[in-house]
Amino acid sequence: MTWPEVPLDAVAEIQGGIQKQPKRAPRDNAFPFLRVSNVTASGLDLSDVHAVELFDGELDRFRLERGDLLVVEGNGSASQIGRAAVWDGSIKDAVHQNHLIRVRPAPDLYERYLGLLWNSPTIRDELSRVASSTSGLHTLSVTKLKRIMLPLPPLAEQHRIVDLLEDHLSRLDAADAYLEAAQRRGNVLYDQLLVSALAALESAELPFAELLADGLANGKSVPTQEDGFPVLRLTALRDGHIDLAERKPGAWTAADARRFLVERGDFLIARGNGSLRLVGRGGLITDEPDAVAFPDTLIRARPDLTRIHPEFLAYVWNAPGVRRQIEQAAKTTAGIYKVNQKDLAAVRVPVPSLADQERVTTAVRESRDALLQLALEVNRAVARSSALRRSLLGAAFSGRLTGDPTDLSEAEEMIGA
């Protein structure tokens, strides 16, 4: 089935928003102000809505209406460019910032059809194509959005497509929620296992500083430079271990980097993070690294092997008891949580005998391996679900979605499932 294609500005009013300036500080005529952070890849997030001062006539010009599509103007990731959400009208007299573009459908364009169509492979590809890139930031504009071409079936057909799609997608949503719950249960069971294992042992609680061979060391801030000496990224810290492949070339020489080199058995700790849940997380280097240094975003600790098993440290450091201490010690500045050497040195770590540490480590390692296998299966299922969504959207907006129960199985065939 072939439908006519029309430019977006033929079936919608497209308008930019309000630039935040000092004169816009909310005073006498303040109204709710939606920002880029309120429009996520999964829809609206209205947990933190700011306010902005409006002047004569601006409310009538910028007021959002239920059914408006809010499109993010720019993003550092090409895959996220143009992400959008349909405004639900839940906040009266809300307006939007200039980094959100408002698309208001005309009567012959169903807003829920537009919202679903916007996430289809065809429109996503078109958005990526037209977005320009300056210094790594991909941007759209009102002018570029006006030229986006949309398949436009009759209004009744738009409603039928939305009903069919929402039915299929709700089933995928339910499956995704089940997968997320399974992953959470696995993580809870893992934490409970470690807590139970430690409770059954006789342990001394010692300051972290007493368990180290040569104290704590801060890394060095190093700008990126092509062909420079390699330095780890903060993203190298993953699930209690260090991914040595997560590195960048730094603007320093091998001689400059010498005292910041990492070794097998080193324990690296996140010095700061925008999330309290992640600040102070630690990871162990389990492989023999080639020459690579650690940055100022990480703190290095070298365990005293006569007192603590490095793998045991990695498990217990990220367990609830130690995490609570780190989160209580963390300080926040401009939305970034930080811990320093003094904070970490004072954290009290449960330390059983080395023989008991070895037994706990073996038991937890086996459980961890099982949990990682579960996570792998969940990730595969989530990837398949995502591919099914894309296939369903592609089928829907090319006229191939029939409403037959076989739609999902046909979509699976399209992705080779």
Q: Residue 95: CB partners within 8 Å, gap ≥ 6?
A: 17, 18, 31, 32, 33, 34, 52, 54, 58, 59, 62, 63, 64
Give the relative orientation of helices 354-396 and 407-414 as an angle to the nearest 10 degrees.
110
Nearest to 98, CA basis, from 48, 139, 150? 139
> Whole-angstrom Cα distance, residue 43 to residue 182?
23
Instruction: Return the amino acid letter for 250.
Output: G
326 three-state secondary structure: helix
Determine whether 391 is exposed, middle or buried from the number of CB atoms within 10 Å of its CB (0-12, 13-18, 19+).
Answer: buried
Q: Give me the pLDDT at residue 398, please.
A: 78
132 contacts 55 by C-beta, under 8 angstroms: no
Q: Give me the pLDDT at residue 133, please.
A: 63
The tens place of each residue's pLDDT in the chain, 417 residues long, gives 578 999 999 999 999 999 989 999 999 999 999 999 899 877 899 999 999 999 999 999 999 999 999 999 876 566 677 889 999 999 999 999 999 999 999 999 999 999 999 988 888 888 888 876 655 567 888 999 998 999 999 999 999 989 888 888 888 888 888 877 877 777 777 667 777 777 777 778 999 999 999 889 999 998 988 889 999 999 999 878 999 999 999 999 999 999 999 999 999 999 988 888 889 999 999 999 889 999 999 999 999 999 999 999 998 998 888 999 999 999 988 778 999 999 999 999 999 999 999 988 888 888 777 777 877 787 788 788 778 877 888 888 877 776 655 555 544 443 344
Q: Give me the pLDDT at residue 76, please.
A: 59
What domains does the chain contain, in order, with CATH numbers? 5-152 (3.90.220.20), 204-351 (3.90.220.20)
Q: Residue 404: CB partners within 8 Å, gap ≥ 6?
A: none
* pTM exceeding 0.85: no
283 contacts 326 by C-beta, under 8 angstroms: no
Q: Give me the pLDDT at residue 179, please.
A: 79
Count Cα neighbours of 159 within 13 Å in the Cβ-side half-sphere: 5
Q: Are strands 95-96 and 30-34 parallel, antiparallel or unpaired?
A: parallel
